[in-house]
Structure formats: C-alpha cells, structure tokens
C-alpha cells in the first residue's frame, strides 16, 4: 500500500525522465549481475583450479574477477548518480508545484494554518520524501534484483536447502506487520510536534519586541523546553521501535547460517554436495542478509515518508481560489457596486445588507470605528473572500465572472503594514510590474518623494537599511502606482506619516489617479477631507455618505468622529 501510494503520486513527475530511469535500471541490472559472480568463481577455484593445480585456470579466474569488480564499480556509480539526479529533479519540481499551489489558495487557508507548519511541510517533509526517492527506492530496486538473482542461483545450487531456509520468511512479514502501524503513528506525531516548534520559533521572532519589552525570555525558554520535551519523548519512542524491529529481523537472519552449516555440512560428509558448492551456497545466502535488512529498513523509512507524503498531498489536493469556467474580459468604465452584500467571519456577522457604489475617476474614503467592517469591504473588493449573500459588480457584471488573475491585475492594494521583501528598494517597487524599466521605477520612486532615488533604489530592505515606517509605506505606494491599476485601495497605507505629509501625499495621489477609482481607509479623518466622497460605517452598515463639508454640516456620526479626533489631537 505504501509503495503503491508513492508510485501513484509520483508517476507523473518521473514520466518526463523515463529514458534516464531506463538507463538507471539497465546499469543496476549490470551491477547486480556482476556482484553475483564472485561466489561462483570461488566455487570453481576450490573444486577445480586448486585440486588440479591448474595455474592457467587460476589466472583466467583472477583476471575475470578483476574485470567483474571494475564493471560492478562503474555500473553502480553510474546507476547511483543518475538516480539521484532524477530523484532530486522530481522533488525540486514537487516543491515548486506545492509552493505555487499554496500561493494560489484562498486567504482563509493562511489564517487557519500556522506559518511554521507551512514552512515545515515545504522543507522538512519534502526532504523526507526526497530521501526516500533518492535513496530508499534505489535500494528497493537493487534489493529486489539482488534477491531474485540470488534466489535463482541458490535454487540451482541446492533447491531443498534453499526452500527449507525460506520458512524463515513469514517471521520477517509478521515482524513488519506488527511494527508498521506503531512506527507510522509515532512518525506522524513527531512531524506535527516539529511543525509546532518551528511555528513557535517564527512567532517569537516575529514578536521579538513584545518578548524583550516584557522581559519574558526565561518564560519563553521554559515553554520551548516543554515543547522539546515532548519531541524528545517521541524521538526516543521512534528509536526504540526502529531498533526493536531491526533487532528482531537481525535475529531471524542470524539463524540461517546455523541451518546452512548443519544441513549442508551433513550433505558434504555424505558426498551429496561438494565443499566448493557449500561455500558458494553459504556466500550467496549470506549476501541475502544485506538486501533483506535493506528492505526491512526501507519499509520503515517508507512508513515515515508516507506520513510526510500525506501531509504534502493534504495541501496539494486543496482547491485553489475559484475561477469562472468562461471568464469575461475585464472591463471597468462606469462603477463598482456592492449590492446587498452580507459577510460573516466564523459565524460572526460583519457586513449587513451592504450597498455601495464607487464611480470611476472618483476618490472615496471609508471611515468608522475599529471593527465596523472597513477591512472586510476591501477584502471582498480584492476577492480574498466571496460575499455570502449579495454580489459585487463592475459595470453590472459580477466580479466573479472575471478571471481572478486578470481582475487583480487591475487593483493596486497597499495595506497598513508595508510588506517588503529582503531585496533592494528598486526590486520591491518593480514587484508592482515585473516588466518595468529602471527609468519607470525611478519615476515611481520620485513621484512618491522617496529621497535620493538613485541611491535609495539600490538600498536593501533589511534591518541594516534602517528604513522608517513612513519610508516603507512610500515604497509600497510606489509599487502600487507602478502597477498602474484602475482601482487603487489604500488600507491605512499612510498611517506612519505625519498628518501634514499624509495629507500632501494623498492630494498628490488623487491628482495622479484622476482617471482611476481611489478608495482610502483611514482612521485619521483630517487626511481624507479632500476626497470626493466619504463613506462613514458603523456595525457593518453605511450610516452616512457625502463630502467632508456636507457631513460636517449634518453633524451626524462622521461629525462626532471628527470632533473627537480634533479634541484628542
């Protein structure tokens, strides 16, 4: 079942390398065949060359033996090298496919799964499968070929003795059957515990300011100790099970020489078997130990690898974000409309019968207290989630009718936390449009008032760069503007700037995006006074809508928010 699971899953990966695999198999057959010659030559040496003092035959046998050893060495090297090449290629492609698949899973998937677990599966679980593919499977083919060949030779030398020794085989099978589920359960628990510890590390390093400011390094070290204690127990239990299975298998194999020497020795004394034939039989049978032990260990390795394989397949088989069967060409000429949209997170309602129209070429601001649903509106607009009721339409065409990638190409989202890669400022801006030229990147940087663009673009975005929050947000804004989208969404994207700089930057963005729809989410109401329309939300509904002047004149919810901020400033 385990080998079938591997074969079924990886057949399509190995198929492109069928001719390399064929060469591997041919050289493995050659290596196995050449390794079987030594005991046969030894038999001829003992039974013919030495008793007859035939030096000519002795020379031929030694020269043949030398050639066979050379052939075996070269064949084994080529087979091993090619197989590791194929195995590594297969695993690299599998990791790339899994990574690409994960990037296209719904946003909710990443909220439900720990980053540490994702990293562990992409790295550790893939490495375990890689080890099985590049080592264990090679051992499997080699061991099976060796066993079949040795079995044929042993039957030819002394069939009754061979079949008598074969009675030990059921003992191997019972041993494997007993330990397999136990080792599998421990392996799965170990993988989960290792993922938890990796997630623990990532979470603590991501929140290092919190740990240091509350001086909780001893507390966190104690928590790690408890986590590692659980992993230590699992590792030792796994070691005990593997050693037990291996020791029992070794004991069973150790009984074979007793039977051979007893039964075979009796036949030699009776004249029914030559001494050379007995020594050859003994040599051949002892060579069964290595492939049998290898198969035993291989089975145990595959039990552990099957756990990793299931963890990988669990994610690889998850459906990606939904795409329409026949996507409409994207077109945005008039307006975006939220029509009776309702949405809830884990059963907790966030938006209630939400209606909103955003006209092309206008700027809008979403304002309201924390938790009123502003970020959910953005998530739905970017199609990170789908409305549970109602729909979002562009020029009366449902958003879900457009291809997801083409749709998102037309939206430039800038979140509050500027997300930058460990790369140069220029490359982080280029991420907005990967085919952009250096001049276009420089113009986008200059437009967002990134100081000294020529020098700044080469600066690497890491701790040594010492970039302020405002500088990071300017880089993220430049990236979005370089993308040249039709819909620009700023989710607290200028919160790290001072009020004067924020208002100046937003006015510049409004001027640059005069033919685009600009949607701004901000808690700083003084920064959104210049937008065409302000949408004030409360408890998942729109409570007011209009220009800054109109809403201030009404003295409603927006006026109350504005008055509170002025009083606290």
The tens digit of pLDDT for each residue in 446-475 reads 777 665 555 667 677 765 556 777 788 888
Which residues, 6 or more positions from 560, have their beta carbon under 8 angstroms from its beta carbon?
A: none
Which among 2, 198, 9 is positioned nearest to 94, based on CA atoms? 9
The pLDDT value recorded for residue 516 is: 84
| Domain 335-568: homologous superfamily in CATH | P-loop containing nucleotide triphosphate hydrolases (3.40.50.300)
Rg (CA), the chain: 35
pLDDT, position 274: 65
Domain limits, the chain = 2-316, 335-568
d(CA 124, CA 308): 8
User: Which candidate, 309, 351, 345, 342, places its Cα nearest to that of 10?
Assistant: 309
Quote the pLDDT of residue 192: 77
Q: Cβ distance 375 to 385 under 8 Å?
A: no
Helices (H) and strands (E) in the chain, counts: 25, 10
3-state percent breakdown (helix, strand, coil) of the chain, nearest 5: 70, 10, 20
**DSSP assigned state of 16:** G
Determine the straight-line distance between the first and last CA of the chain, rounded to whole angstroms: 69
> Cα–Cα distances in Å, from 238 out to 168, 241, 298, 315?
26, 5, 15, 26
101 with 121: CB under 8 angstroms? no
Residue for token pair 């104690």: 222
Q: What is the helix (H) or strand (E) element at residue 355, kind and residue range?
A: strand 348-359
Question: Considering the domain 2-316, what is its CATH architecture?
Answer: Up-down Bundle (1.20)
Q: Which residues contact 196 (CB under 8 A, 6 or more apart)?
A: 114, 116, 117, 227
Q: Which residues contact 227 (CB under 8 A, 6 or more apart)?
A: 193, 196, 197, 200
- For residue 465, the model assigns a pLDDT of 56
What pLDDT does 428 receive?
83
Token readout for 279 is: 């020594």
Residue 3: what pLDDT? 52
Buried-exposed string 279-297: b where 16+ CB fall within 10 A, e elsewhere: bbbbebbebbeebbbbbbb
pLDDT means over runs of 10, the chain (569 residues):
58 73 78 74 76 80 83 82 78 80 82 79 78 67 76 75 69 74 79 78 70 71 80 83 78 70 69 68 70 70 75 80 76 86 85 88 86 86 88 86 84 82 80 84 76 63 68 84 86 76 76 80 76 86 87 84 67
Pairing mode, strands 397-398 and 389-394: antiparallel
Distance CA 101, CA 95 (A): 10
DSSP letter string, 471-500: HHHHHHHHHHHHH--SEEEEESTTTTS-HH
CA atoms of 102 and 118, how far apart (whole Å): 9
Residue 280 has φ and ψ, to the nearest 5°, of: -65, -45
Is the full-model pTM beyond 0.85?
A: no
Distance CA 329, CA 313 (A): 34
Adjacent-strand bridge partners of 537: 368, 542
Contacts of range 111-119, beta carbons closer than 8 Å, 24 or more positions apart: 114/195, 114/196, 114/199, 114/203, 115/199, 115/202, 115/203, 116/195, 116/196, 116/197, 116/198, 116/199, 116/200, 116/201, 116/202, 116/203, 117/195, 117/196, 117/198, 117/199, 118/315, 119/198, 119/202
């Amino acid at each position: 079942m385990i080998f079938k699971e591997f074969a079924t899953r990886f057949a399509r990966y190995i198929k492109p390398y069928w001719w390399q695999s064929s060469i591997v198999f041919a050289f493995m057959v050659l290596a196995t065949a050449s390794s079987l010659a030594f005991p046969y030559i030894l038999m001829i040496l003992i039974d013919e060359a030495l008793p007859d003092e035939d030096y000519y035959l002795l020379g031929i046998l030694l020269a043949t033996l030398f050639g066979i050893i050379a052939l075996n060495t070269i064949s084994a090297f080529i087979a091993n090298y090619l197989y590791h090449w194929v195995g590594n290629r297969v695993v690299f492609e599998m990791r790339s496919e899994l990574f690409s698949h994960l990037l296209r899973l719904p946003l909710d998937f990443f909220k439900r799964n720990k980053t540490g677990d994702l990293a562990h599966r992409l790295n550790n679980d893939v490495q375990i499968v890689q080890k099985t593919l590049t080592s264990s499977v090679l051992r499997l083919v080699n061991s099976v070929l060796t066993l079949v060949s040795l079995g044929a030779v042993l039957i030819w030398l002394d069939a009754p003795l061979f079949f008598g020794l074969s009675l030990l085989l059921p003992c191997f099978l019972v041993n494997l059957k007993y330990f397999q589920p136990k080792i599998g359960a421990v392996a799965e628990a170990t993988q989960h515990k290792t993922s938890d510890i990796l997630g623990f590390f990532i979470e603590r390093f991501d929140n290092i300011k919190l740990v240091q400011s509350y001086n909780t390094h001893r507390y966190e070290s104690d928590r790690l100790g408890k986590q590692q204690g659980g992993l230590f127990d699992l590792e030792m239990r796994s070691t005990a099970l593997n050693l037990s299975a291996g020791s029992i298998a070794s004991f069973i194999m150790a009984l074979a020489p007793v039977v051979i020497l007893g039964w075979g020795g009796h036949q030699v004394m009776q004249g029914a078997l030559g001494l050379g034939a007995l020594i050859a039989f003994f040599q051949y049978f002892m060579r069964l130990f290595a492939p049998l032990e290898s198969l035993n260990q291989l089975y145990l390795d595959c039990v552990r690898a099957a756990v990793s394989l299931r963890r990988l397949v669990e994610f690889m088989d998850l459906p990606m974000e939904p795409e329409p069967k026949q996507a409409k060409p994207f077109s945005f000429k008039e307006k975006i409309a939220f029509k009776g949209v309702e949405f809830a997170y884990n059963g907790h309602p966030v938006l209630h019968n939400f209606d909103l129209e955003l006209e092309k070429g206008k700027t809008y601001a979403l304002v309201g207290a924390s938790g009123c649903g502003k970020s959910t509106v953005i998530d739905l607009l970017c199609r990170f989630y789908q409305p549970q009721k109602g729909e979002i339409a562009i020029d009366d065409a449902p958003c879900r009718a457009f291809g997801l990638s083409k749709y998102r190409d037309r939206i430039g989202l800038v979140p509050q936390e500027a997300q930058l890669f460990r790369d140069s400022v220029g490359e982080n801006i280029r991420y907005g449009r990967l085919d952009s030229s250096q001049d276009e990147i420089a113009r986008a940087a200059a437009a967002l008032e990134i100081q000294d663009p020529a020098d700044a673009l080469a600066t690497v975005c890491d701790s040594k760069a010492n970039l302020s929050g405002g500088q990071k947000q300017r880089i993220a804004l430049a990236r979005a503007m370089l993308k040249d989208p039709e819909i620009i969404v700023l989710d607290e994207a200028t919160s790290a700037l001072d009020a004067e700089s924020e208002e100046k930057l937003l006015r510049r963005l409004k001027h640059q995006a005069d033919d685009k729809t600009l949607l701004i989410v901000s808690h700083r109401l003084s920064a959104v006074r210049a937008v065409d329309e302000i949408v004030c939300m409360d408890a998942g509904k729109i409570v007011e809508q209009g220009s800054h002047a109109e809403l201030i004149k009404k003295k409603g919810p927006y006026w109350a928010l504005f008055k509170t901020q002025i009083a606290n400033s």
